[in-house]
């Protein structure tokens, strides 16, 4: 299977594959209504930053694509939206353009359309350090995402089968990388054990990429994958992964992603300890179906609602939201208790 063909199939199949079957666990998480907020919507600030660059909103358009003509146009439109709203954007895996420089422009277009924005490079956590460095340089990136996608590789007939030495490779990349490194799952979630290992290797930013949204086992199975629909429920839900990382109590930044679909999802993630949220699949679907105007409308509505949830919770900014009480119920609370994490920590602060 040629890599470029795979990218095209991912876009097509992701458009038709629903989220799940398991949920993010965020439905178990509740914020409290604040009846006396003493706030004006105008003064709600969702300013954020990544490295030394400022962002108007703590939202990353997460890694999607590159390496085809269609991908080039998608990346252009996403970059235009990120420039307009002051959002961060990650490109899809750049391996294809390192193997065939003819595809570089499907990635560099993001920088062309958003010269001063926060742009994030993307490559596998199993990459060699030279490849990682080249991915950063290709788009003058502000940060580098290293993606971890073991289940997806194993589901693909043509995927990797050996992951020995992976942590050492990460450490070697962190050592030479001129920008912050983000460890990113792609829909299966990080456990606190994995986070601690990656922290030891030097990683300081974690993107949960949890279960409940885009499901790459289901997508690969529709491409003739090896799992035959039996392992679709594999993964750590986003709410749980977020709590697992927060409970590590390490000085790290957290991006909550995987099934973030609404302003309420995002606000809950911030209250659980996220510094940013990432969204991938829905933005692609809206763009492909409705064009840039539809995507513009969706982002605009999402950001309005996010500010509304902040106001309804009585939070003026991100730091305030990160201190708000949260109630964690149901299976998510059960999971946390089983792992020795007290779900009441959030409720009683």
Q: Which residues bind ligand FNR (CB under 6 A)?
A: 10-11, 14, 62-65, 92-93, 122, 145, 147, 184, 186-187, 209, 213-214, 257-260, 279-281, 284
CB nearer to ligand FNR: pick between 211 and 341: 211
CB nearer to ligand FNR: pick between 82 and 341: 82
Shortest Cβ 57–ligand FNR spacing (Å): 16
In whole angstroms, give the CA distance from residue 298 to residue 76. Answer: 17
Yes or no: say if 170 and 197 are a contact pair by the CB < 8 Å rule.
no
Yes or no: say if 184 and 233 are a contact pair by the CB < 8 Å rule.
no
Instruction: Tell me whether strands 326-328 and 88-90 are parallel, antiparallel or unpaired.
Output: unpaired
Shortest Cβ 287–ligand FNR spacing (Å): 11
What percent of the chain is helix, strand and coil (3-state, nearest 5)?
A: 50, 15, 40
CB nearer to ligand FNR: pick between 23 and 214: 214
CB nearer to ligand FNR: pick between 196 and 261: 261
203: enclosing H helix or E strand: none
* Closest C-alpha to 182, from 202, 163, 159, 206: 206
Shortest Cβ 254–ligand FNR spacing (Å): 14
Shortest Cβ 276–ligand FNR spacing (Å): 13
Shortest Cβ 15–ligand FNR spacing (Å): 8
CB nearer to ligand FNR: pick between 241 and 313: 241
CB nearer to ligand FNR: pick between 65 and 108: 65
CB nearer to ligand FNR: pick between 143 and 280: 280
Shortest Cβ 187–ligand FNR spacing (Å): 5
Q: What angle do CA 239, 160, 233 make, to 5 degrees?
A: 30
CB nearer to ligand FNR: pick between 55 and 315: 55
Indicate the length of the chain as a whole number: 349
Residue with smallest beta-carbon separation from ligand FNR: 213
DSSP string, 310-343: HHHHT-SBHHHHTTS-EEE-HHHHHHHHHTT--T
In whole angstroms, give the CA distance from residue 215 to residue 234. Answer: 9
Shortest Cβ 90–ligand FNR spacing (Å): 7
Shortest Cβ 95–ligand FNR spacing (Å): 9
**Locus of tokens 């990635």:** 107
CA distances from 218 to 21, 45, 224, 258, 317 (A): 9, 38, 10, 14, 37
In whole angstroms, give the CA distance from residue 33 to residue 346. Answer: 15
């Amino acid at each position: 299977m040629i890599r470029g063909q795979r990218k095209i199939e991912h876009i097509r199949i992701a458009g038709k594959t629903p989220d799940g079957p398991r949920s993010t666990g965020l439905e178990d998480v509740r914020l409290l209504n604040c009846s006396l907020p003493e706030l004006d919507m105008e003064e709600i600030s969702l300013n954020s930053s990544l490295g030394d660059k400022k962002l108007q909103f703590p939202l990353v358009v997460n890694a999607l694509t590159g390496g085809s003509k269609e991908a080039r146009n998608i990346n252009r439109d996403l970059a235009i939206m990120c420039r307009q709203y002051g959002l961060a954007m990650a490109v899809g895996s750049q391996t294809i353009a390192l193997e065939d420089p003819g595809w570089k422009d499907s990635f560099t277009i993001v920088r062309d359309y958003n010269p001063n924005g926060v742009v994030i490079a993307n490559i596998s956590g199993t990459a060699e350090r030279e490849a990682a460095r080249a991915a950063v340089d290709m788009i003058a990136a502000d940060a580098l995402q290293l993606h971890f996608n073991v289940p997806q590789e194993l589901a693909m007939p043509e995927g990797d089968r050996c992951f020995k030495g992976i942590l050492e490779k990460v450490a070697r990349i962190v050592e030479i990388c001129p920008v912050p490194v983000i460890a990113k799952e792609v829909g299966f979630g990080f456990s606190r054990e994995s986070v601690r290992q990656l922290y030891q290797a030097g990683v300081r930013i974690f993107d949960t990429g949890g279960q409940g949204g885009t499901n790459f086992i289901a997508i690969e199975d529709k491409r003739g994958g090896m799992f035959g629909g039996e392992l679709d429920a594999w993964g750590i839900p986003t709410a749980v992964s977020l709590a697992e990382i927060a409970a590590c109590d390490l000085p790290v930044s957290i991006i909550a992603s995987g099934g973030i679909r609404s302003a309420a999802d995002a606000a809950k993630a911030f209250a659980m300890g996220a510094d940013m949220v990432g969204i991938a699949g829905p933005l692609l679907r809206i763009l492909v179906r409705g064009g840039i105007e539809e995507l513009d409308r969706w982002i605009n509505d999402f950001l309005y609602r996010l500010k509304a949830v902040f106001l309804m919770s009585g939070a003026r900014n991100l730091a305030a939201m990160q201190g708000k009480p949260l109630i964690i119920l149901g299976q998510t609370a059960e999971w946390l208790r089983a792992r020795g994490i007290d779900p009441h920590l959030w409720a009683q602060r």
